[in-house]
């Protein structure tokens, strides 16, 4: 924290010692660690400066040093929105998917606001911990595929060298495995991306004979996921017995097919995509994994894996993707107990600084996990320390640790508004509709100016 560091640091401490979710930013000034007024809080979020690269390095080091030596590093990447429906004076608002809206109630499942993409670490403890290691805001002209590639490359630079296995990054079905796989080809990372159940996978073409004429085929027979008759024989099969202690009461069947690549999908907003460009795209081959539960009515999960040669391990990979859902616990905890999307900030830059403070507060909870007592309520079961239980006991720990922030300096009140000067209404900003690529957005912006 390079500008307004004392206020920003005390803001994080006040957020962690508050017994409940903060009602607003001025409400945090009632906590003892925050010795500044509400004016300084808003000024710090407006003029403060946070070295996000250095902070992301600290977050990644905290995650890499906390796990066991033989434990796989599994990360989850997903987006979450900051709703700002009625903030007409806030720039950079886009229409984003809103999971709280149901498609059956005749409302569009989108909400005006800011769109953030989080990269979080998962664990094999079957708990709700998901420490964030990086975050980025996707602007109106940005694309979540390009931002995801940049975040993964930055993560690989921050992780220590000499890992036993390449880290695994899990993504949901809104990401293009072919485009991201091409961008990260040759990198020491494993990608595990969910694909739609109606996707089509292509095999390699058969060997060409000398008597064959014409252009050689690029693809072989198609494997249509909804058509079982088109499936070839699986290369690997696993039958996993039920685990009642983990909440799984039915067995799982895991199938894997190697040397497949997906057909291009028009439903995924790949950056820079042009229809029928005449250029043959680079083929990224991977393995298709199908997870099917024996529970009646349960839909299968289709995954596509790409990574370095020889790093495929079916027993580890299907368990790694089930850990991806821990990032949903991160979104829920940050919104319900840390008040991530609660402040009514005007600019997206202020929202980014507040988001990084939320990530720093979560990192402090990870570091204090073994230093505070179990402050569970009477009706809560005993077990692993959840982030909320650690937050309840952070007040005692913060009083013992103190703070490196300097004390508040005395000051004189300002002169106020000059005589005869009146306030003017703030500038209104329309909602910007996101497009499939930044090039399309730039073309429409140029057309609008003309």
pLDDT value of position 23? 86
pLDDT value of position 424? 85
Residues 191, 149, single domain; the answer is: yes
Q: What is the DSSP string of 338-366?
A: S-TT-S--SSHHHHHHHHHHHHHHHHHHH
CATH number at residue 233: 3.90.350.10
DSSP state of 276: T
Residues 183, 327, single domain; the answer is: yes
Contact in structure between 132 and 114 (CB atoms under 8 Å):
no
Residues of the domain holding 25? 5-50+344-401
Q: Is residue 34 part of a domain?
A: yes
pTM greater than 0.95: no
Q: What is the DSSP string of 19-85?
A: SS--SSHHHHTTSTT--S-HHHHHHHHHH-B--HHHHHHHHHHHHHHHS-TTS--EEEEEEEEEE-T
Q: Is residue 117 part of a domain?
A: yes
Residues 64, 190, single domain; the answer is: yes
Residues 306, 397, single domain; the answer is: no
Residues 58, 129, single domain; the answer is: yes
Spatial separation of the C-alpha atoms in residues 189 and 86, rounded to whole Å: 41
CA atoms within 13 A on the CB side of 42: 12
> 289: closest CA among 265, 275, 306, 273?
306
Contact in structure between 73 and 131 (CB atoms under 8 Å):
no
Spatial separation of the C-alpha atoms in residues 301 and 303, rounded to whole Å: 7
> 145: closest CA among 73, 77, 55, 52?
77
Q: Is residue 425 part of a domain?
A: no
Q: Is residue 383 part of a domain?
A: yes
pLDDT value of position 349? 96
Q: In a 3-state reduction of DSSP, which class is residue 282?
A: coil
What's the token pair of residue 282?
């680079």
Q: Is residue 210 part of a domain?
A: no
Residues 197, 300, single domain; the answer is: yes
Q: In a 3-state reduction of DSSP, which class is residue 203?
A: coil
Spatial separation of the C-alpha atoms in residues 68 and 51, rounded to whole Å: 29
Residues 84, 201, single domain; the answer is: yes
Residues 100, 240, single domain; the answer is: yes
Q: Is residue 126 part of a domain?
A: yes
Q: What is the pLDDT of residues 335-370, one digit of tens each?
A: 999 999 999 999 999 999 999 999 999 999 999 988
- Regions in the chain scoring below 50 on pLDDT: 277-278, 436-450
Q: Is residue 418 part of a domain?
A: no
Q: Is residue 376 part of a domain?
A: yes
Residues 153, 236, single domain; the answer is: yes
Residues 46, 56, single domain; the answer is: no
Residues 234, 356, single domain; the answer is: no
Residues 141, 245, single domain; the answer is: yes
pLDDT value of position 70? 57
- The domain total for the chain is 2
pLDDT value of position 362? 96
Q: How far apart are the first and last CA of the chain?
A: 43
């Amino acid at each position: 924290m390079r500008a307004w560091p004392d206020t920003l640091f005390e803001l994080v401490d006040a957020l962690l010692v508050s017994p409940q979710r903060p009602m607003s930013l001025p409400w945090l000034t009632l906590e003892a660690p925050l010795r500044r007024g509400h004016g300084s809080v808003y000024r710090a979020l407006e003029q403060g400066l946070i070295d996000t690269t250095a902070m992301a390095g600290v977050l990644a080091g905290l995650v890499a040093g906390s796990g066991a030596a033989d434990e796989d590093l599994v990360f989850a990447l997903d987006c979450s929105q900051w709703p700002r429906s009625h903030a007409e004076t806030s720039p950079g608002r886009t229409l984003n998917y809103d999971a709280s809206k149901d498609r059956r109630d005749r409302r569009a499942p989108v909400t005006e606001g800011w769109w953030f993409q989080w990269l979080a670490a998962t664990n094999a403890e079957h708990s709700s911990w998901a420490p964030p290691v990086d975050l980025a805001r996707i602007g109106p002209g940005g694309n979540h595929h390009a931002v995801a590639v940049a975040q993964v490359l930055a993560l690989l630079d921050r992780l220590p060298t000499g890992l036993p296995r390449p880290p695994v990054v899990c993504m949901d079905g809104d990401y293009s495995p072919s485009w991201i796989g091409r961008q990260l080809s040759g990198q020491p990372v494993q990608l595990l991306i969910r694909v739609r159940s109606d996707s089509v996978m292509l095999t390699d073409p058969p060997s060409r004979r000398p008597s064959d004429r014409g252009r050689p085929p690029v693809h072989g027979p198609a494997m249509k996921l909804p058509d079982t008759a088109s499936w070839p024989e699986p290369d690997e099969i696993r039958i996993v017995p039920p685990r009642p202690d983990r909440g799984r009461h039915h067995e799982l069947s895991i199938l894997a097919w190697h040397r497949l690549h997906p057909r291009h999908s028009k439903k995924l907003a790949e950056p820079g995509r042009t229809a029928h460009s005449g250029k043959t795209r680079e083929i990224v081959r991977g393995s298709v994994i199908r997870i099917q539960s024996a529970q009646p009515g349960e839909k299968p999960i289709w995954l596509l894996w790409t990574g370095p040669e020889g790093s495929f391990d079916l027993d580890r990979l299907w368990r790694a993707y089930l850990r991806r859902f821990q990032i949903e616990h991160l979104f829920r905890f940050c919104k319900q107990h840390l008040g991530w999307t609660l402040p009514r900030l005007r600019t997206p830059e202020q929202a980014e600084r507040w988001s990084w403070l939320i990530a720093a507060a979560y990192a402090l909870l990870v570091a204090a996990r073994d230093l505070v007592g179990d402050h569970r309520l009477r009706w809560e079961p005993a077990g692993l320390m959840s982030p909320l239980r650690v937050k309840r006991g952070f007040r005692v720990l913060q009083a013992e640790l103190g703070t490196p922030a300097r004390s508040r300096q005395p000051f004189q009140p300002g002169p106020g508004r000059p005589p005869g000067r009146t306030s003017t209404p703030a500038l209104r900003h329309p909602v910007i509709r996101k497009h499939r690529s930044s090039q399309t957005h730039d073309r429409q912006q140029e057309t609008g100016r003309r």
